[in-house]
Amino acid sequence: MDANLQPVYDGVMQSRDPEDLFGSEDVVLPATLLLGFLARKYDGFKAITSQKYLNLEDASAAADADAQLEVLYARAQARVRNYVYGIDGRDRLKPAYATRSFEVGNNRYYLGRKLFEGDDVAIYEAFMERDGAHIGEVVIKVARDASFNDAIRAEVRNLDILHSAEVPQWKHLPLIMDRFQSAGRAGIVQRKMSGHSLAQVRRHRVHAHGVDQKHMVWMLTRALSALGYAHSQGLVHGALNPDRLIVQPRSHNALIVGWSSAAYRPATTGERIKPPFGEFSAPEVRDAAEIGPWSDIYSLGKLMIWLLGGNHVTNEFPPGIEPPLQRFILSLVTESYLARPADAWALHEQHNRIKDRLWKRKYLHFDMS
């Protein structure tokens, strides 16, 4: 078979799902951006399958691959428009343990085990079907009773604000797929996010004494990107902690979750971060002083010191951390918010310059096995 056709033919014909062919990097992007990504991949394959081949065997193989490519591309586009492209558990049967179910419009959700129960909300694993077709795994978040509906409503409002603009930073944020009421309790369905919280990372045997600084830097880069966007939309998270920053080892992505306590344009609305406050909270959050983007930057800096295996209370780093990185992170955790940086976008660029001076860019496997 033609040397260029062979790998394309094999890839197309062996792909069960569109994601097998076009790829899926554990990200959620706006439909327009993801469709553009798919179109570029499709065009590359199409350039090979649509050629005129003189060899009859090659011509037949190209025709078969071209027909299957069209099927996979159409399925990929449909999944993107429904925000289920790359979803975990796609096309699998619902798990046997998921026996309870409920409907929201054309969607049916089968509840699995409880993942978390807090003071105000409970979170469940679940499986989604749409019009009888198996879609994949999702997460259900529901108020524990009607008196806690405000927590769900706040998360809906804040995530709606964050998704009001179509930007690449969607990949750093939770995505709401559905909203519902159950026995007076407000609930939402979110796309399941693969990955590990920083708390889980530090409990892992490889990272128990701290994450290598060359891995910390990509996590910090992604978090600054997410915060830069959130702040541009007027939201201050205010409650970053090791459970609310999720990293995805394979794609080197990071997500920020837990937006129900965030404040929207606090300087003009007077909104405050909702308690409880934790050890990573900025002083002004705890002391009811002036909060803003600088508050999230403080918490992120403290998280990075802790992630490296340092002492986030005293701001001491473990041995071997590059001095420019230490100076950069220490600038984030100045006690006075008046002396602290407030522009996460500018910090993102500054941090990238420091990284590039220290090391050549290279993909490093992050071990969570």
In which residue are the tokens 């990372």 written? 201
* 225 lies in the same domain as 272: yes
* 270 lies in the same domain as 133: no
| Beta-sheet strands, E only, within the chain | 100-104, 107-117, 121-130, 133-143, 176-182, 185-191, 196-197, 235-236, 245-248, 253-256, 263-264
* 208 lies in the same domain as 182: no
Q: Which of 191, 215, 238 is the last residue of a domain?
A: 191
* 263 lies in the same domain as 352: yes
* 237 lies in the same domain as 328: yes
Give the CATH number for residue 143. Answer: 3.30.200.20
Residue 240 contacts residue 280 (beta carbons within 8 Å): yes
* 320 lies in the same domain as 227: yes
CA distances from 224 to 31, 130, 186, 332, 343 (A): 23, 36, 31, 11, 9
* 41 lies in the same domain as 152: no
Q: Which of 133, 157, 191 is the last residue of a domain?
A: 191
Residuewise pLDDT in 10s, the chain (369 residues):
999 999 999 999 999 999 999 988 667 889 999 999 999 999 999 999 999 999 999 999 999 999 999 999 999 999 999 889 999 887 677 777 777 899 999 999 999 899 988 889 999 999 999 888 888 899 999 999 999 999 999 999 999 999 999 999 999 999 999 999 989 999 999 999 889 999 999 999 999 999 999 999 999 999 999 999 999 999 999 999 999 999 999 999 999 999 999 999 999 999 999 888 999 999 999 999 999 999 999 999 999 999 999 999 999 999 999 999 999 999 999 999 999 999 999 999 999 999 999 999 999 999 999
CA pair distance 369, 205, nearest whole angstrom: 10
Query: Could you tell me what percent of the chain has a pLDDT over 70?
Result: 99
* 328 lies in the same domain as 311: yes
Model confidence over 18-53: pLDDT tens digits? Answer: 999 998 866 788 999 999 999 999 999 999 999 999
* 112 lies in the same domain as 45: no
Residue 366 inside a domain? The answer is no
**Structural domain count of the chain:** 3
Residue 153 inside a domain? The answer is yes
- Domain limits for position 167: 100-191
Q: Which of 191, 217, 241 is the last residue of a domain?
A: 191
* 210 lies in the same domain as 181: no
Q: Please tell me what DSSP assigns to residue 136.
A: E
* 334 lies in the same domain as 290: yes
